[in-house]
Amino acid sequence: MWSPEQRLPWTVIGVLSALLAYSYWPSLAQLPSFWDNPQYQHGWIVPVFTVLLLFWWRKPVGPITASARAAGVGLLLLSFGMRLWCASFRIVTLDMYTFVPALMGVFLLAGGWSMFRWSWAPIASLIFMYPLPDEATRYLLGPLQTVATIVSTYSLQTLGLDAYRDGNRIILGDGQVLGVVDACSGLKMLTIFVWLAAMLMLVGGLEWWENLVIAASAIPIALVCNAFRITTVGVMYNFNDSLEGLSTSLAGMGLLEKGQSLAEAFHDSLPAALLMMLLAVGFLVLEMKILSYLVVTDDLAPSMVAGGGGIPRMRPAGPAPAAMVPGAVRPVIATPPRPTTGFPAIPKPIPTEKRSVSPPPGGDGKMG
């Protein structure tokens, strides 16, 4: 049961968050329409993960200092000022984004620095539930389409198939044209996988350099997985005659439309999306496995063991012994006697004191 001191900050957070949601309700109410777009279908699960992380990471509220309250008020005022500026220029997407720093200001104002340290990252992940700005989408679509077309064309040629690139189109050997349109640019895969990488960095408990490598590799992995999907479709188109019987069977089962080839059905199907996601996660796991072999932490660093012939042995995982911690007192451990081998050693005689015997007075010196 929470004490009143612990219950009050959460009550204030609940009230201020409700007022904040009411203030941003016009933009929050538009989110389901954005989530209907296949590019942002992951948006509905982002707030669910945020709430779960906040519940999972929650800690007792510490003392709330005046600097924390001032910083929280300043963050709220900055968010509201940015919102007014966006409204004056009718920048809708950036206006939506200001909800995230405003919510951070609420947690900082009501919970202090101790709460802000563990809550800022889950709250910051809410940015992934919003769509990209229209300008960013326009600037990204063209280069992403070009990269996907080039990589897929080289992949098909590497597999020994006839293919060449004509703009954002791939011309196959039989004259089949595979167009890399906006939906094939990989922007959907990019937004989803960047969010997954961010979630992994939050819950993985990794080192800072591991998080940096994951963040830097998220975009290349997403592009490679999208090119893999386009290449798979190109291979299916190349063997379309061989797959015609399978397409007819699937159409008879109701899994394909009549007259639709397997390549056309696979292009935008759910199995293709799941395959790309599994492939991306597999690349990420493989990357983390390789990093674990390349970099050795201090706890697993080899140490020379005395009496071991100079052979380094790995210390088992766990807390370091007291002797390895600087400034610690090394415990004295009694060593049991080593067992003897062969015949037991003959014990040495105990030395005795030698005393001379003198004859009794008046005697002849002989023993009676």
Residue 137 pLDDT grade (very low, low, confident, very high; cuts 50, 70, 90): confident
The per-residue pLDDT for 304 is 40
Q: Which residue has the higher pLDDT, 269 or 355?
A: 269
Contact residues for 11 (Cβ-Cβ < 8 A; gap 6+)? none
**Tens digits of per-residue pLDDT, 85-101?**
998 998 889 999 999 99
Mean pLDDT of 3-10: 86
If one counts every other C-beta atom within 10 angstroms of the C-beta of residue 221, the result is 23
Q: Is the pLDDT of residue 250 over 80?
A: no
pLDDT on residue 291? 81
Is the pTM for the entire model greater than 0.75?
no
Q: Can you read off the two tokens belonging to residue 135?
A: 């300008």
Instruction: Dump pLDDT digits (tens) for 41-62.
Output: 888 999 999 999 999 999 999 8
Q: Give strand pairing partners of 171.
A: 164, 177
* 350 pLDDT above the threshold of 70: no
Which residues is 303 bridged to in the sheet? Answer: 313
pLDDT at position 305, please?
42
